[in-house]
Structure 1
Protein backbone atom coordinates (compact mmCIF):
# COMPACT_ATOMS: atom_id res chain seq x y z
CA UNK A 1 0.00 0.00 0.00
CA UNK A 2 1.47 3.36 -1.06
CA UNK A 3 2.05 6.07 1.56
CA UNK A 4 -0.69 8.36 0.21
CA UNK A 5 -3.14 5.46 0.07
CA UNK A 6 -2.36 4.61 3.68
CA UNK A 7 -3.00 8.21 4.69
CA UNK A 8 -6.31 8.24 2.85
CA UNK A 9 -7.32 4.97 4.51
CA UNK A 10 -6.39 6.30 7.95
CA UNK A 11 -8.48 9.43 7.31
CA UNK A 12 -11.53 7.40 6.30
CA UNK A 13 -11.10 5.06 9.27
CA UNK A 14 -10.94 7.81 11.88
CA UNK A 15 -13.78 9.74 10.30
CA UNK A 16 -16.06 6.69 10.37
CA UNK A 17 -16.36 6.38 6.60
CA UNK A 18 -15.67 2.63 6.36
CA UNK A 19 -18.02 -0.29 6.02
CA UNK A 20 -17.74 -2.88 8.85
CA UNK A 21 -15.85 -5.43 6.75
CA UNK A 22 -13.32 -2.89 5.52
CA UNK A 23 -12.92 -1.51 9.04
CA UNK A 24 -12.17 -4.99 10.34
CA UNK A 25 -9.59 -5.54 7.59
CA UNK A 26 -7.97 -2.21 8.40
CA UNK A 27 -7.76 -2.95 12.14
CA UNK A 28 -6.18 -6.33 11.41
CA UNK A 29 -3.56 -4.69 9.19
CA UNK A 30 -3.00 -1.97 11.77
CA UNK A 31 -1.74 -4.52 14.31
CA UNK A 32 1.30 -5.40 12.19
CA UNK A 33 1.96 -2.19 10.25
CA UNK A 34 4.03 0.28 12.28
CA UNK A 35 3.89 2.99 9.59
CA UNK A 36 0.10 2.77 9.63
CA UNK A 37 0.14 3.11 13.43
CA UNK A 38 2.39 6.17 13.17
CA UNK A 39 0.12 7.74 10.55
CA UNK A 40 -2.89 7.08 12.77
CA UNK A 41 -1.29 9.02 15.63
CA UNK A 42 -0.04 11.73 13.29
CA UNK A 43 -3.47 12.20 11.70
CA UNK A 44 -5.06 12.73 15.11
CA UNK A 45 -2.46 15.35 16.07
CA UNK A 46 -2.47 17.26 12.79
CA UNK A 47 -6.23 17.09 12.32
CA UNK A 48 -6.68 18.80 15.67
CA UNK A 49 -3.98 21.36 14.91
CA UNK A 50 -5.34 22.34 11.53
CA UNK A 51 -8.92 22.73 12.83
CA UNK A 52 -10.32 22.23 9.35
CA UNK A 53 -13.59 23.95 8.45
CA UNK A 54 -15.99 23.98 5.52
CA UNK A 55 -17.24 27.37 4.32
CA UNK A 56 -18.86 28.39 1.03
CA UNK A 57 -16.47 31.27 0.37
CA UNK A 58 -14.76 31.71 -2.99
CA UNK A 59 -11.41 31.15 -1.27
CA UNK A 60 -12.58 27.80 0.06
CA UNK A 61 -13.84 26.83 -3.39
CA UNK A 62 -10.42 27.65 -4.85
CA UNK A 63 -8.73 25.54 -2.17
CA UNK A 64 -11.13 22.67 -2.83
CA UNK A 65 -10.33 22.77 -6.54
CA UNK A 66 -6.59 22.75 -5.80
CA UNK A 67 -6.93 19.83 -3.40
CA UNK A 68 -9.03 17.85 -5.87
CA UNK A 69 -6.33 18.36 -8.49
CA UNK A 70 -3.71 17.31 -5.95
CA UNK A 71 -5.64 14.16 -5.11
CA UNK A 72 -5.88 13.10 -8.76
CA UNK A 73 -2.12 12.73 -8.81
CA UNK A 74 -2.53 9.65 -6.65
CA UNK A 75 -5.82 8.08 -7.72
CA UNK A 76 -7.20 7.66 -11.23
CA UNK A 77 -10.74 8.85 -11.52
CA UNK A 78 -13.10 6.00 -10.68
CA UNK A 79 -10.39 3.79 -9.14
CA UNK A 80 -10.86 2.20 -5.76
CA UNK A 81 -7.83 1.38 -3.53
CA UNK A 82 -7.05 -2.33 -3.09
CA UNK A 83 -8.04 -2.27 0.56
CA UNK A 84 -11.62 -1.50 -0.44
CA UNK A 85 -12.07 -4.03 -3.24
CA UNK A 86 -13.75 -6.57 -0.98
CA UNK A 87 -15.87 -3.95 0.72
CA UNK A 88 -18.96 -2.13 -0.46
CA UNK A 89 -18.21 0.07 -3.49
CA UNK A 90 -18.05 3.71 -2.43
CA UNK A 91 -18.91 6.53 -4.78
CA UNK A 92 -16.21 8.60 -6.44
CA UNK A 93 -17.50 11.75 -4.76
CA UNK A 94 -16.96 10.14 -1.36
CA UNK A 95 -13.41 9.18 -2.31
CA UNK A 96 -12.69 12.65 -3.65
CA UNK A 97 -13.76 14.07 -0.30
CA UNK A 98 -11.23 11.92 1.51
CA UNK A 99 -8.56 12.55 -1.12
CA UNK A 100 -9.00 16.23 -0.31
CA UNK A 101 -8.71 15.51 3.41
CA UNK A 102 -5.63 13.39 2.77
CA UNK A 103 -4.12 16.16 0.65
CA UNK A 104 -4.58 18.67 3.45
CA UNK A 105 -3.01 16.27 5.89
CA UNK A 106 -0.10 15.47 3.59
CA UNK A 107 0.68 19.18 3.56
CA UNK A 108 0.11 19.41 7.32
CA UNK A 109 2.27 16.40 8.04
CA UNK A 110 5.01 17.77 5.79
CA UNK A 111 5.01 21.14 7.54
CA UNK A 112 4.65 19.97 11.13
CA UNK A 113 6.14 16.45 10.71
CA UNK A 114 4.90 15.41 14.18
CA UNK A 115 6.31 11.91 13.83
CA UNK A 116 9.85 13.34 13.78
CA UNK A 117 9.43 14.63 17.31
CA UNK A 118 7.77 11.35 18.30
CA UNK A 119 10.68 9.35 16.86
CA UNK A 120 13.19 11.63 18.53
CA UNK A 121 11.51 11.06 21.89
CA UNK A 122 11.01 7.35 21.30
CA UNK A 123 14.55 6.65 20.15
CA UNK A 124 16.44 8.87 22.56
CA UNK A 125 19.00 6.62 24.27
CA UNK A 126 20.25 8.91 27.05
CA UNK A 127 17.15 9.60 29.08
CA UNK A 128 19.21 9.97 32.23
CA UNK A 129 22.60 11.47 32.92
CA UNK A 130 24.51 9.09 35.14
CA UNK A 131 27.42 10.33 37.25
CA UNK A 132 29.22 8.93 40.26
CA UNK A 133 28.11 10.96 43.25
CA UNK A 134 30.26 11.65 46.26
CA UNK A 135 29.12 10.31 49.58
CA UNK A 136 29.54 13.48 51.62
CA UNK A 137 26.24 14.98 50.45
CA UNK A 138 27.90 17.99 48.81
CA UNK A 139 27.24 17.89 45.09
CA UNK A 140 29.63 19.31 42.56
CA UNK A 141 28.44 21.14 39.43
CA UNK A 142 28.28 18.03 37.25
CA UNK A 143 26.11 16.26 39.82
CA UNK A 144 23.83 19.30 40.02
CA UNK A 145 23.61 19.34 36.22
CA UNK A 146 22.71 15.64 36.25
CA UNK A 147 19.85 16.28 38.68
CA UNK A 148 18.47 19.02 36.43
CA UNK A 149 18.97 16.92 33.29
CA UNK A 150 17.15 13.96 34.81
CA UNK A 151 14.31 16.26 35.87
CA UNK A 152 13.93 17.41 32.26
CA UNK A 153 15.23 20.94 32.86
CA UNK A 154 17.65 20.88 29.94
CA UNK A 155 18.04 24.64 29.80
CA UNK A 156 19.29 24.88 33.39
CA UNK A 157 21.40 21.74 33.04
CA UNK A 158 22.92 23.09 29.85
CA UNK A 159 24.00 26.32 31.49
CA UNK A 160 25.97 24.42 34.12
CA UNK A 161 27.40 21.96 31.61
CA UNK A 162 28.45 24.81 29.33
CA UNK A 163 30.72 26.20 32.05
CA UNK A 164 32.13 22.77 32.77
CA UNK A 165 32.71 22.10 29.08
CA UNK A 166 34.50 25.40 28.50
CA UNK A 167 36.69 24.66 31.52
CA UNK A 168 37.59 21.17 30.23
CA UNK A 169 36.69 20.40 26.62
CA UNK A 170 38.40 17.02 26.93
CA UNK A 171 35.77 15.77 29.39
CA UNK A 172 33.76 13.57 27.02
CA UNK A 173 30.94 12.90 29.49
CA UNK A 174 30.32 16.62 29.91
CA UNK A 175 30.62 17.25 26.17
CA UNK A 176 28.17 14.45 25.34
CA UNK A 177 25.43 15.49 27.73
CA UNK A 178 25.98 19.18 27.02
CA UNK A 179 25.45 18.39 23.33
CA UNK A 180 22.16 16.67 24.12
CA UNK A 181 20.91 19.62 26.18
CA UNK A 182 21.65 21.85 23.19
CA UNK A 183 19.57 19.61 20.92
CA UNK A 184 16.76 19.61 23.47
CA UNK A 185 16.80 23.42 23.58
CA UNK A 186 16.83 23.72 19.77
CA UNK A 187 20.49 24.72 19.37
CA UNK A 188 21.27 21.93 16.95
CA UNK A 189 24.13 23.61 15.06
CA UNK A 190 26.07 24.23 18.26
CA UNK A 191 25.26 20.73 19.50
CA UNK A 192 26.56 19.14 16.32
CA UNK A 193 29.88 21.02 16.52
CA UNK A 194 30.47 19.48 19.94
CA UNK A 195 29.20 16.00 19.08
CA UNK A 196 31.17 15.85 15.82
CA UNK A 197 34.27 16.54 17.90
CA UNK A 198 33.44 13.50 20.03
CA UNK A 199 32.81 11.36 16.98
CA UNK A 200 36.11 12.40 15.40
CA UNK A 201 38.07 11.36 18.49
CA UNK A 202 38.42 8.20 20.54
CA UNK A 203 35.77 8.94 23.14
CA UNK A 204 33.68 6.13 24.61
CA UNK A 205 30.75 8.27 23.41
CA UNK A 206 31.95 8.20 19.78
CA UNK A 207 29.00 6.32 18.29
CA UNK A 208 26.44 7.64 20.77
CA UNK A 209 27.49 11.09 19.53
CA UNK A 210 26.92 10.03 15.91
CA UNK A 211 23.52 8.68 16.93
CA UNK A 212 22.48 11.98 18.48
CA UNK A 213 23.77 13.95 15.52
CA UNK A 214 21.39 11.83 13.45
CA UNK A 215 18.57 12.52 15.89
CA UNK A 216 19.28 16.25 15.74
CA UNK A 217 18.75 16.19 11.98
CA UNK A 218 15.63 14.06 12.33
CA UNK A 219 14.19 16.61 14.73
CA UNK A 220 14.66 19.21 11.98
CA UNK A 221 13.01 16.98 9.35
CA UNK A 222 16.33 16.54 7.50
CA UNK A 223 16.05 12.84 6.76
CA UNK A 224 18.98 12.66 4.36
CA UNK A 225 21.47 13.94 6.94
CA UNK A 226 19.86 11.88 9.69
CA UNK A 227 20.36 8.71 7.65
CA UNK A 228 23.92 9.67 6.76
CA UNK A 229 24.91 9.87 10.43
CA UNK A 230 22.95 6.85 11.59
CA UNK A 231 24.60 4.77 8.89
CA UNK A 232 28.04 5.66 10.31
CA UNK A 233 27.32 3.49 13.34
CA UNK A 234 29.00 0.11 12.88
CA UNK A 235 27.70 -3.30 13.81
CA UNK A 236 28.82 -4.27 17.29
CA UNK A 237 28.52 -0.78 18.76
CA UNK A 238 26.05 -0.36 21.67
CA UNK A 239 23.65 1.74 19.60
CA UNK A 240 23.80 -0.24 16.34
CA UNK A 241 20.48 -2.06 16.74
CA UNK A 242 18.69 1.12 17.77
CA UNK A 243 20.18 2.98 14.81
CA UNK A 244 19.05 0.27 12.40
CA UNK A 245 15.51 0.41 13.77
CA UNK A 246 15.43 4.15 13.34
CA UNK A 247 16.81 3.97 9.79
CA UNK A 248 13.90 1.70 8.83
CA UNK A 249 11.44 4.18 10.38
CA UNK A 250 12.85 7.11 8.45
CA UNK A 251 13.03 5.44 5.04
Structure 2
Protein backbone atom coordinates (compact mmCIF):
# COMPACT_ATOMS: atom_id res chain seq x y z
CA UNK A 1 0.00 0.00 0.00
CA UNK A 2 1.21 3.52 -0.79
CA UNK A 3 2.64 5.48 2.08
CA UNK A 4 0.25 8.40 1.46
CA UNK A 5 -2.60 6.34 2.85
CA UNK A 6 -1.84 7.21 6.45
CA UNK A 7 -4.53 7.75 9.10
CA UNK A 8 -4.70 11.51 8.54
CA UNK A 9 -5.34 10.96 4.83
CA UNK A 10 -8.01 8.35 5.50
CA UNK A 11 -9.72 10.63 8.03
CA UNK A 12 -9.82 13.34 5.34
CA UNK A 13 -11.49 10.80 3.05
CA UNK A 14 -14.10 9.95 5.67
CA UNK A 15 -14.63 13.68 6.27
CA UNK A 16 -15.25 14.28 2.56
CA UNK A 17 -12.22 16.57 2.36
CA UNK A 18 -10.50 14.87 -0.61
CA UNK A 19 -10.97 16.20 -4.14
CA UNK A 20 -12.83 14.00 -6.60
CA UNK A 21 -9.67 12.63 -8.25
CA UNK A 22 -8.05 11.63 -4.94
CA UNK A 23 -11.29 10.14 -3.69
CA UNK A 24 -11.73 8.08 -6.86
CA UNK A 25 -8.18 6.73 -6.66
CA UNK A 26 -8.59 5.80 -3.01
CA UNK A 27 -11.92 4.08 -3.63
CA UNK A 28 -10.32 2.02 -6.42
CA UNK A 29 -7.59 1.03 -3.97
CA UNK A 30 -10.21 0.12 -1.37
CA UNK A 31 -11.86 -2.28 -3.81
CA UNK A 32 -8.56 -4.07 -4.41
CA UNK A 33 -7.10 -3.93 -0.90
CA UNK A 34 -9.00 -5.82 1.87
CA UNK A 35 -6.55 -4.71 4.55
CA UNK A 36 -7.07 -1.05 3.68
CA UNK A 37 -10.86 -1.58 3.65
CA UNK A 38 -10.75 -3.05 7.14
CA UNK A 39 -8.60 -0.19 8.37
CA UNK A 40 -11.00 2.40 6.96
CA UNK A 41 -13.90 0.50 8.53
CA UNK A 42 -12.29 0.70 11.98
CA UNK A 43 -11.61 4.40 11.59
CA UNK A 44 -15.15 4.90 10.36
CA UNK A 45 -16.48 3.02 13.38
CA UNK A 46 -14.56 5.30 15.75
CA UNK A 47 -15.69 8.46 13.95
CA UNK A 48 -19.30 7.31 13.74
CA UNK A 49 -19.26 6.42 17.41
CA UNK A 50 -18.28 9.98 18.17
CA UNK A 51 -20.83 11.53 15.84
CA UNK A 52 -23.49 8.85 15.88
CA UNK A 53 -27.14 9.71 16.19
CA UNK A 54 -27.50 7.13 18.92
CA UNK A 55 -25.18 9.00 21.26
CA UNK A 56 -26.72 12.33 20.32
CA UNK A 57 -30.11 10.90 21.19
CA UNK A 58 -28.80 9.54 24.49
CA UNK A 59 -27.40 12.94 25.44
CA UNK A 60 -30.67 14.64 24.48
CA UNK A 61 -32.60 12.18 26.62
CA UNK A 62 -30.32 12.91 29.56
CA UNK A 63 -30.82 16.64 29.03
CA UNK A 64 -34.59 16.17 28.79
CA UNK A 65 -34.68 14.12 31.99
CA UNK A 66 -32.58 16.73 33.74
CA UNK A 67 -35.00 19.46 32.62
CA UNK A 68 -37.90 17.37 33.93
CA UNK A 69 -36.18 17.14 37.28
CA UNK A 70 -35.67 20.90 37.41
CA UNK A 71 -39.32 21.59 36.55
CA UNK A 72 -40.78 19.05 38.95
CA UNK A 73 -38.70 20.40 41.82
CA UNK A 74 -40.01 23.95 41.29
CA UNK A 75 -43.09 25.09 43.22
CA UNK A 76 -44.30 26.98 40.15
CA UNK A 77 -43.23 27.83 36.63
CA UNK A 78 -43.99 30.87 34.54
CA UNK A 79 -44.85 28.79 31.49
CA UNK A 80 -47.35 26.03 30.90
CA UNK A 81 -45.66 22.63 30.76
CA UNK A 82 -47.00 19.20 29.86
CA UNK A 83 -47.39 16.56 32.54
CA UNK A 84 -43.98 15.09 33.34
CA UNK A 85 -43.65 11.51 34.47
CA UNK A 86 -40.97 9.02 35.53
CA UNK A 87 -38.97 11.31 37.74
CA UNK A 88 -35.26 10.38 37.73
CA UNK A 89 -32.82 11.03 40.53
CA UNK A 90 -30.16 13.68 39.83
CA UNK A 91 -27.34 11.19 40.44
CA UNK A 92 -28.50 9.18 37.43
CA UNK A 93 -28.43 12.26 35.24
CA UNK A 94 -24.88 13.12 36.17
CA UNK A 95 -23.75 9.50 35.86
CA UNK A 96 -25.23 9.31 32.37
CA UNK A 97 -23.64 12.56 31.31
CA UNK A 98 -20.27 11.51 32.72
CA UNK A 99 -20.45 8.13 30.96
CA UNK A 100 -21.33 9.75 27.63
CA UNK A 101 -18.53 12.29 27.87
CA UNK A 102 -16.02 9.60 28.90
CA UNK A 103 -16.98 7.33 26.00
CA UNK A 104 -16.83 10.09 23.41
CA UNK A 105 -13.50 11.24 24.81
CA UNK A 106 -12.05 7.73 24.69
CA UNK A 107 -13.11 7.18 21.08
CA UNK A 108 -11.75 10.57 20.01
CA UNK A 109 -8.49 9.77 21.81
CA UNK A 110 -8.33 6.44 19.96
CA UNK A 111 -8.52 8.22 16.60
CA UNK A 112 -5.85 10.67 17.78
CA UNK A 113 -3.54 7.86 18.93
CA UNK A 114 -3.94 6.07 15.60
CA UNK A 115 -1.69 8.75 14.16
CA UNK A 116 1.14 8.07 16.64
CA UNK A 117 3.96 5.69 15.70
CA UNK A 118 5.29 2.75 17.70
CA UNK A 119 8.12 4.74 19.24
CA UNK A 120 5.69 7.34 20.61
CA UNK A 121 3.48 4.60 22.09
CA UNK A 122 6.58 2.97 23.52
CA UNK A 123 7.69 6.21 25.18
CA UNK A 124 4.20 6.79 26.58
CA UNK A 125 4.08 3.36 28.26
CA UNK A 126 7.68 2.57 29.14
CA UNK A 127 8.50 1.92 32.79
CA UNK A 128 11.99 1.05 33.97
CA UNK A 129 12.21 -2.30 35.69
CA UNK A 130 12.83 -1.89 39.41
CA UNK A 131 14.57 -4.63 41.35
CA UNK A 132 15.09 -5.46 44.98
CA UNK A 133 18.39 -7.06 45.89
CA UNK A 134 18.03 -10.57 47.33
CA UNK A 135 20.34 -12.12 49.86
CA UNK A 136 22.28 -15.21 48.92
CA UNK A 137 22.06 -14.83 45.14
CA UNK A 138 24.68 -16.18 42.78
CA UNK A 139 27.79 -14.05 42.28
CA UNK A 140 27.05 -13.28 38.65
CA UNK A 141 23.40 -12.42 39.33
CA UNK A 142 24.50 -10.17 42.17
CA UNK A 143 26.96 -8.48 39.81
CA UNK A 144 24.27 -7.89 37.18
CA UNK A 145 21.89 -6.53 39.81
CA UNK A 146 24.56 -4.19 41.13
CA UNK A 147 25.37 -2.85 37.65
CA UNK A 148 21.67 -2.51 36.82
CA UNK A 149 20.97 -0.53 39.99
CA UNK A 150 23.86 1.79 39.13
CA UNK A 151 22.49 2.28 35.62
CA UNK A 152 25.71 0.82 34.19
CA UNK A 153 23.91 -1.12 31.47
CA UNK A 154 26.78 -1.38 28.99
CA UNK A 155 29.02 -3.08 31.53
CA UNK A 156 26.32 -5.66 32.17
CA UNK A 157 26.87 -7.01 28.69
CA UNK A 158 30.63 -6.79 28.99
CA UNK A 159 30.40 -8.87 32.19
CA UNK A 160 28.62 -11.73 30.37
CA UNK A 161 30.54 -11.57 27.11
CA UNK A 162 31.01 -15.00 25.56
CA UNK A 163 28.49 -16.80 27.79
CA UNK A 164 25.78 -18.85 26.02
CA UNK A 165 22.13 -17.86 26.39
CA UNK A 166 21.35 -21.11 28.20
CA UNK A 167 23.72 -20.20 31.02
CA UNK A 168 21.41 -17.50 32.40
CA UNK A 169 18.60 -17.98 34.91
CA UNK A 170 15.20 -16.26 34.65
CA UNK A 171 16.12 -13.17 36.62
CA UNK A 172 19.35 -12.66 34.70
CA UNK A 173 17.48 -12.89 31.39
CA UNK A 174 14.98 -10.30 32.59
CA UNK A 175 17.72 -7.95 33.80
CA UNK A 176 19.58 -8.23 30.51
CA UNK A 177 16.40 -7.66 28.51
CA UNK A 178 15.48 -4.61 30.58
CA UNK A 179 19.04 -3.27 30.29
CA UNK A 180 18.95 -3.62 26.50
CA UNK A 181 15.76 -1.56 26.39
CA UNK A 182 17.41 1.09 28.55
CA UNK A 183 20.15 1.20 25.90
CA UNK A 184 17.50 1.59 23.18
CA UNK A 185 18.24 -1.84 21.69
CA UNK A 186 14.85 -3.57 21.29
CA UNK A 187 16.23 -6.43 19.15
CA UNK A 188 18.79 -7.28 21.81
CA UNK A 189 16.09 -7.02 24.49
CA UNK A 190 13.92 -9.53 22.63
CA UNK A 191 16.88 -11.91 22.43
CA UNK A 192 16.87 -12.28 26.23
CA UNK A 193 13.19 -11.75 26.97
CA UNK A 194 12.03 -14.34 24.45
CA UNK A 195 14.53 -16.80 25.94
CA UNK A 196 12.85 -16.22 29.31
CA UNK A 197 9.43 -16.65 27.69
CA UNK A 198 10.52 -19.90 26.02
CA UNK A 199 12.06 -21.25 29.24
CA UNK A 200 8.80 -20.67 31.12
CA UNK A 201 6.76 -22.34 28.40
CA UNK A 202 9.09 -25.35 28.27
CA UNK A 203 9.26 -25.81 32.05
CA UNK A 204 5.63 -24.81 32.68
CA UNK A 205 6.76 -22.04 35.03
CA UNK A 206 5.90 -18.37 35.24
CA UNK A 207 9.11 -16.86 36.58
CA UNK A 208 8.98 -13.10 35.84
CA UNK A 209 6.44 -13.87 33.11
CA UNK A 210 4.41 -10.70 33.66
CA UNK A 211 7.53 -8.61 33.28
CA UNK A 212 8.59 -10.56 30.19
CA UNK A 213 5.16 -10.01 28.56
CA UNK A 214 5.25 -6.28 29.23
CA UNK A 215 8.78 -5.65 28.00
CA UNK A 216 8.36 -7.93 24.98
CA UNK A 217 5.29 -5.89 23.99
CA UNK A 218 7.26 -2.66 24.41
CA UNK A 219 10.19 -3.99 22.39
CA UNK A 220 7.84 -4.90 19.54
CA UNK A 221 6.25 -1.43 19.68
CA UNK A 222 9.71 0.13 19.54
CA UNK A 223 10.38 -1.87 16.37
CA UNK A 224 6.91 -1.01 14.98
CA UNK A 225 6.12 -4.75 14.85
CA UNK A 226 2.48 -3.97 15.59
CA UNK A 227 0.95 -7.41 15.03
CA UNK A 228 3.42 -9.02 17.45
CA UNK A 229 2.93 -6.22 19.97
CA UNK A 230 -0.86 -6.52 19.73
CA UNK A 231 -0.81 -10.27 20.43
CA UNK A 232 1.25 -9.75 23.57
CA UNK A 233 -0.81 -6.76 24.74
CA UNK A 234 -4.05 -8.69 24.26
CA UNK A 235 -2.59 -11.52 26.33
CA UNK A 236 -1.81 -9.01 29.09
CA UNK A 237 -5.19 -7.25 28.99
CA UNK A 238 -7.18 -10.51 29.02
CA UNK A 239 -5.49 -11.79 32.18
CA UNK A 240 -7.25 -10.41 35.26
CA UNK A 241 -4.25 -11.28 37.44
CA UNK A 242 -1.58 -9.83 35.18
CA UNK A 243 0.60 -7.23 36.89
CA UNK A 244 0.55 -4.98 33.80
CA UNK A 245 -3.10 -5.48 32.83
CA UNK A 246 -3.93 -1.77 33.10
CA UNK A 247 -0.79 -0.50 31.38
CA UNK A 248 -2.34 -0.14 27.92
CA UNK A 249 -5.58 1.79 27.50
CA UNK A 250 -8.48 0.71 25.30
CA UNK A 251 -7.71 3.63 22.99
CA UNK A 252 -4.05 2.59 22.66
CA UNK A 253 -5.06 -0.98 21.83
CA UNK A 254 -7.45 0.36 19.16
CA UNK A 255 -4.62 2.48 17.78
CA UNK A 256 -2.25 -0.52 17.58
CA UNK A 257 -4.96 -2.64 15.97
CA UNK A 258 -5.38 0.02 13.28
CA UNK A 259 -1.64 -0.02 12.65
CA UNK A 260 -1.67 -3.77 12.00
CA UNK A 261 -3.86 -3.09 8.97
CA UNK A 262 -1.42 -0.75 7.25
- Report the TM-score, using the length of structure 1 for normalisation: 0.46
- Report the TM-score, using the length of structure 2 for normalisation: 0.44
Indicate the structure (1 or 2) with the bigger Cα radius of gyration.
2
